[in-house]
Amino acid sequence: MNESQSITAEARKRDLFTDLGPGAHQCWYPIALSSNVPQGKVIGANLADGRIVVYRGEDGVVRAMSAYCRHMGADLSAGGDVVGNDIRCPYHHWAYGKNGQCTNIPSGDRIPKGSNLVNFPVKEQFGLIWVFFGETPLYELQTFENYDEEKHVYHSFEVKLNEKLKIEPWVFTTNVYDIVHLRFLHGVNIVGSDIDEVSPFLQRMTWIATHTGEKDSGTLRMSLDVYGANSVRSEGEMDGRLKWYISASTPFGPQDTRFFFTIITTKGEGAEDFLARSEALHTRLINEDLPVLNNIRFGNLRLVASDKALGRFIRAAREYPRTTIDAMETAANRKKEFA
């Protein structure tokens, strides 16, 4: 177990719902649309217990690092600029590059020890930028191996929420396993479902469901893969048309969880309308949950037989590795100097 995972043991001693410990689960989190980070652009974002900076270098590659300069703490997203593939602090022009290492101090002084930023693993796919919250990814970013750009079309977006979601991402993920709530709150009637634990970081479900609502209805057949504690990948169909999607939630600081989706279908007549209807459906379903989840009070849970899958996921979330940006920054500056 690496240093940044060690606080998981402390989480087991805490109250299950109200406090799993500082920071966040070590998962892949979508942080921005690719279109919002063109070459040379710098953006900042709160993430879990801290803040990160995201930028695209002249090589076209997106990088993500902890946001505060190690010199005097300036926020690199507040006036920082991209120089080659490095990011430069607006205050005294300290520059950071490969692996978060400080690469240049223009005053000519020797770069002091402990001057590294946290360098987050980053992947970009289907128009979304993903950041892994940890030193080393615990699992591969979920994708669709059978995606063919000649046959398929995708649509990625951030969900427009009616209000801030004040719970951690993993709490929202419990909805996937809460079959009873799906029927009563969302009109999704699960005819059959099976669950397999593929690995500590992947659980697989299969659904056959009918959906009825004031604005939409239909039949859904899908497999659901839950990755980490915050993301779902689904392959299936809706109303006879191919529908694949990845949904994930990200903790943009305390009490500010946001959602991103990638939805894929086959090209051809009706594809754009299908993607638009799918976005509207998922947006509505998430917003229907907000009033309940933002005002829920967890105590001693009394789960029943139909909550078996839900209980398994809750226990898994309690055991799942967590870390903080502070812990990762400490670890980054205890390592040997980069080659």
Q: Under a CB-based contact definition with an 8 Å cutoff, are residues 64 and 296 in contact?
A: no
Residue type, position 48, single letter: A
Taking the C-alpha atoms of residue 119 and residue 65, their distance in angstroms, rounded to an integer, is 5
- Please, what is the Cα angle at 122 between 283 and 324, to 5 degrees? 85
Q: Under a CB-based contact definition with an 8 Å cutoff, are residues 41 and 61 in contact?
A: no
Taking the C-alpha atoms of residue 301 and residue 269, their distance in angstroms, rounded to an integer, is 48
Taking the C-alpha atoms of residue 285 and residue 176, their distance in angstroms, rounded to an integer, is 12
Domains of the chain, first to last: 34-138+323-332 (2.102.10.10), 152-319 (3.90.380.10)
Tokens of 278: 């799918």
Q: How many CA atoms lie within 13 A of 17 on its CB side?
A: 13
Taking the C-alpha atoms of residue 72 and residue 115, their distance in angstroms, rounded to an integer, is 11
Taking the C-alpha atoms of residue 316 and residue 318, their distance in angstroms, rounded to an integer, is 5
* pLDDT (tens place) for every residue of the chain, 339 residues total: 554 454 455 544 445 555 688 999 999 999 999 999 999 999 999 999 999 999 999 999 999 999 999 999 999 999 999 999 999 999 999 999 989 999 999 999 999 999 999 999 999 999 999 999 999 999 999 999 999 999 999 999 999 999 999 999 999 998 887 666 555 555 556 555 556 665 678 776 766 555 555 545 555 566 789 999 999 999 988 888 999 999 999 999 989 999 999 999 999 999 999 999 999 999 999 999 999 889 887 667 788 777 777 888 888 888 899 999 999 999 999 865 444
For residue 118, which of 105, 136, 104 has the smallest C-alpha distance? 136
